[in-house]
A = this chain, B = another copy of it.
Amino acid sequence: MGKDTGEEKLVRKTKIPETTIARLSSYLRVLDELGRMGFDNTASYQLAEELDINDSQVRKDLSLFGQFGKPGMGYETTKLKREIQKILGLTRKWKVALIGVGNLGSALLAYKGFKRQGFYIVAVFDNDPKKIGKKWAGIVIHDITQLKPIIRKERTEIGIITVPAPAAQEVANLLTKAGIKAILNFAPARISVPKDVRLSNVDLSLKLENLSFFLSRRGR
């Protein structure tokens, strides 16, 4: 298959494109669906068709991590799903802290999808005395001043910021001081973190603006 250069395949040696990581998540969604539909096997062209991409893109993405298919047969859905989960680090539980129990924070707390992928919100914080001590989705809302000790004790690894924009940087500082190494920021504010901390921003308006761009140039 292909050319055998006689060299040892060095998995994980090459740099992985960000786009590949995003697509791996998408493959997972499709595999889930195919699994539910009773497919035991699938093929690159099937995954590709579902996601409206090229089938060799699928194979190339996977080839960056190993060989998971059988020529002539394709992939076992269950096995491939498991392999992708391994790649993405989803075979373990991740403990997540959420800061800011406003509308969006509450919605994310109630969101089932996180737990399904192994992300458990184990600590919740706010600075509003009216909220502190209350329970939401089964979790007590703690005082933001207790962030560091609680996060340390719970060994929380990921922080989700859902506070108003002006408070976002301050919360990010608290999180990094508490030893958090990955932050997902929903606040419409750009924040900076030490370079050993991975920051990911979710800008809810961004996709709407993208739609706006395409709507306003339709038929041009």
Contacts and interface: CB of A to CB of B under 8 A. Distances in A.
Interface of A: 12, 18, 21-22, 24-26, 28-30, 33, 50-51, 87-90, 92, 94, 96, 102-104, 106-108, 110-111, 113-114, 116-119, 157-158, 181-182, 184, 188, 190, 198, 200, 202-218, 220
Given A107-B107, A198-B215, A210 B117 contact: no
The 8 closest A-B pairs by CB, nearest first: A89-B216, A107-B107, A103-B107, A182-B211, A89-B212, A103-B110, A104-B107, A200-B207
What is the total number of copies of this protein in its complex? 2
Contacts of A216: 88-89, 92
Contacts of A26: 206
Nearest to A117: B205
Nearest to A92: B216
Contact of A215 (B33, B108, B157, B212): B157
A196 to B, nearest CB: 8
